[in-house]
A and B are shown apart, each in its own frame.
Chain A
Amino acid sequence: MRHLLGSLALLVTFSACEPLFTNWDELEEFPILVKDGAVAPAAPEPLRLKVMTWNVKYGAGRIDFWFDLWGDRTEMSLAEVEGNMEGLYRLINEVQPDVLVTNEIEINSKRSAYFNMVKGILENTDLRWAAYTPVWQSKFVPTEGLGRVDMGNCIFSRYPIVKNERHAQVDRTDQDPATRSFYLHRAVGRAVVEVGGKRLAVFAVHTEAYDQDKTNSRQQKHILDLVRAEPLPFLLGGDLNALPPTSIKFDDFPDEAAESIGTDFEQPPYTLTDLQPFYDELLPAITLERYGTTVEQQSRYYTHSVIGEETIGLDGKPGFWNRTLDYLFIEAPDAWGATDVLQRPGDGAGLAGPDGIASKPMDLSDHCPTVGIWEINR
């Protein structure tokens, strides 16, 4: 017992082997996971890929976790995670994307019962290659008993992934050093996908959500720098935690719990100009023209709601998608074919069969997928 206490006391300052928390270099290469027996399908001619981005909320479906301030859950049972993952597989299989960008995917976290969601998606869908890059990797997060966390972005593909890079982004500066160490270290995942003889780049992005110091803006500028320097035809997908520049509704969202004010999880104000350069330089899956100029028009493309339909929001109504945070961008001369935001059953007609999806995305995550046909013309 005395060894135990001595070890614990000294553990914080002197530990070896697996670190308590992980920091990364500016650029690191990561392994590529391949489904057993994976064979590359023939490249379509002309080159058209169905692509999708989805923040999968660590397989938690609509379970309200403590930091959302609507619930106080800190972990799930394996049965809960497996049940939620079944819903994710079902929707992915309905859409059958060639490339899938995921955010908040976990491979080894206590809160998600150590379920490896990357392997789960590889084993239960037609996606065969996976490029996982961690953004939060800690042996033990001493907050609310979170424990071990291994969460990141993952790019899945039906075609071979030949490179998987992690580009570190700036950390927040508005946290104390201890909190910052155990907190997320955002990064951009860059995978090179080989389709036929052609190489394509796919970027997975997920920028900061709770910063009060404009970290999110700095991370977006970094993303722009990366894509501006990209020599390959590229797709950029993910949760940018920012609104389209012409958004009519930009504050007082019905899912922002009043208790969050003043906490680490208070939603900082959105800066509408943040994403303007993305719209100026790149081609969004949902253009600003299509996004519209009224709340009614724009709400068709909202992708996020903290609360599900089972929870009554601050507006007295059941939760539903209330803002757009998730994006797909490409660059000319590439072009978009059909695109859609899969908010509810029936959406995605023509992209996920003639009648669209049967799944109900509101129940599967706090984000819904955005999907489109990437027409590669280079």
Chain B
Amino acid sequence: MTRALLVALSLLFVTGPAAAQGLRARETAEVGPKGSYSVGVFNPLRYALSDGFELQAHPLLFFVSPNLLARVGHGSLAGFRLAGEYGVSIPTPAMRLSQGFLFPTWDKSDRQVGWFLVPRAGLVASRAARASDVLTLRLEGAAGIPLTRNDATAFESVAPLNVLFAPVLTGWRARIGAVYDASLSPSWRLRGYADLWLHGRQPSLFTVDAGLGLDFAVGESSRVSFGAMWWNADEHEIDPATHEPVRSNLFVPTLDFIWAG
């Protein structure tokens, strides 16, 4: 059984069921072409309204945390293709829905989870490397603009949660990241990535992540993506022997099916 599985996987690796063109790198500065789209369970819905202009939203979150991002191609510079990302989200409904769990209920006072507007802007730069590998660099920032009084405080606990809510709970978040997306075969791509997240104090000012992922072609343009990710952050963990603070490490698998066309 194991042998049969290995043979099957090997065949997929060499040839694969995907189109002859092979899988393309993702999360790059490429925008469009018109009519192209992709959506995953966790990856956002992305649709190109024209060549060089895409709209992106997270469908899972859209109705509890309205969000929209425009991706605009900005041409090329020094061998890099450039794209700008300009978005906004309103996370307050999701935060209020999670009162009693992630946030306090505050049913005996007028304390509240405030309304926020979170604008976000980023610059993505990609260049080809080797035959069909792509190096992508990313710089982005987001800020939480309070529209009403807010009493919710930073989680300071689990790194992905901390980073997700950093703009509203610490005021801001910035990201410097790099992805190297390599073609292994027409059906398989290997991605390595790393990010430095900067944010308001919770309790330190930075979080680091890095990961590896494999994308496997399914059909013409879709793919299954899986891998593992490491997070390193100050989450108030302490050494039990000395009670001195230590940074926390967190390893999580990543998995998604991305449908594209």
Whether A250 sits at the interface, judged by CB under 8 Å, is no
Whether A144 sits at the interface, judged by CB under 8 Å, is yes
Query: Chain B residue with minimal CB distance to A31?
Result: B241
B155 and A66 within 8 A (CB): no
Knowing A3-B209, A11-B252, A14-B252, say if A72 contacts B108 (CB, 8 Å).
Answer: yes
A143 and B253 within 8 A (CB): no
Knowing A66-B104, A119-B243, say if A148 contacts B156 (CB, 8 Å).
Answer: yes
Which A94-122 residues have C-beta < 8 A from chain B? 107-108, 110, 114, 116, 118-119
- Most B CB within 10 A of own CB, among A4, A71, A143: A4
- Most B CB within 10 A of own CB, among A5, A15, A110, A140: A5
Query: Chain A residue with minimal CB distance to B108?
Result: A72
Residue interface bits A61-74, CB-to-B below 8 A is 1, else 0: 00000100001101
A4 and B160 within 8 A (CB): yes
B105 and A9 within 8 A (CB): no
Query: Chain A residue with minimal CB distance to B103?
Result: A145
Knowing A18-B237, A110-B156, say if A10 contacts B253 (CB, 8 Å).
Answer: yes
| CB-contact partner of A142 in B102, B107, B209, B238, under 8 A | B102
A145 and B152 within 8 A (CB): yes
Whether B231 sits at the interface, judged by CB under 8 Å, is yes
Whether B79 sits at the interface, judged by CB under 8 Å, is no
Query: Chain A residue with minimal CB distance to B256?
Result: A6
Which A1-24 residues have C-beta < 8 A from chain B? 1-11, 14-18, 20
Residue interface bits A24-45, CB-to-B below 8 A is 1, else 0: 0000001101000000000000
A75 and B153 within 8 A (CB): yes
Whether B2 sits at the interface, judged by CB under 8 Å, is no
* Chain B nearest CB, measured from A23 CB (Å): 15
B155 and A140 within 8 A (CB): yes
Chain B residues near A16 (CB-CB < 8 A)? 249-252
* Chain B nearest CB, measured from A310 CB (Å): 15
**How many residues of B are counted as interface, with CB atoms below 8 angstroms from the partner's CB atoms?**
53
* Chain B nearest CB, measured from A189 CB (Å): 14
Determine the distance from Cα of A148 to Cα of B251 in the docked complex, in whole angstroms: 19
Chain A residues near B193 (CB-CB < 8 A)? 3
Determine the distance from Cα of A6 to Cα of B164 in the docked complex, in whole angstroms: 11
Determine the distance from Cα of A13 to Cα of B37 in the docked complex, in whole angstroms: 30
A72 and B111 within 8 A (CB): yes
B100 and A17 within 8 A (CB): no
Determine the distance from Cα of A108 to Cα of B256 in the docked complex, in whole angstroms: 36
Chain A residues near B185 (CB-CB < 8 A)? none
Residue interface bits A186-227, CB-to-B below 8 A is 1, else 0: 000000000000000000000000000000000000000000
Which A207-253 residues have C-beta < 8 A from chain B? none
Interface residues on A, range: 35 or more
Whether B192 sits at the interface, judged by CB under 8 Å, is no
Whether A346 sits at the interface, judged by CB under 8 Å, is no
Determine the distance from Cα of A66 to Cα of B109 in the docked complex, in whole angstroms: 11
A33 and B163 within 8 A (CB): no
Determine the distance from Cα of A119 to Cα of B109 in the docked complex, in whole angstroms: 33
Whether B254 sits at the interface, judged by CB under 8 Å, is yes
B42 and A17 within 8 A (CB): no
* Chain A nearest CB, measured from B94 CB (Å): 12
Query: Chain A residue with minimal CB distance to B44?
Result: A2
| CB-contact partner of A114 in B60, B236, B255, under 8 A | B236
Whether A147 sits at the interface, judged by CB under 8 Å, is yes
Whether A48 sits at the interface, judged by CB under 8 Å, is no
Determine the distance from Cα of A144 to Cα of B102 in the docked complex, in whole angstroms: 6
Chain A residues near B203 (CB-CB < 8 A)? 114
Chain A residues near B58 (CB-CB < 8 A)? 1, 5
A4 and B107 within 8 A (CB): no
B157 and A10 within 8 A (CB): no
Knowing A7-B231, A74-B104, A144-B104, say if A108 contacts B236 (CB, 8 Å).
Answer: yes
Whether B248 sits at the interface, judged by CB under 8 Å, is yes
* Chain B nearest CB, measured from A159 CB (Å): 21
* Chain B positions near chain A (C-beta within 8 angstroms): 27, 40, 42-44, 58, 60-61, 100-109, 111, 152-153, 155-158, 160-161, 163-164, 193, 195, 203, 209, 211, 229, 231, 235-238, 240-243, 248-256
Q: List 14 A-B contacts (CB under 8 A).
A: A2-B256, A3-B193, A3-B254, A10-B255, A11-B158, A17-B251, A72-B107, A72-B108, A72-B109, A108-B238, A114-B203, A142-B102, A145-B104, A147-B155
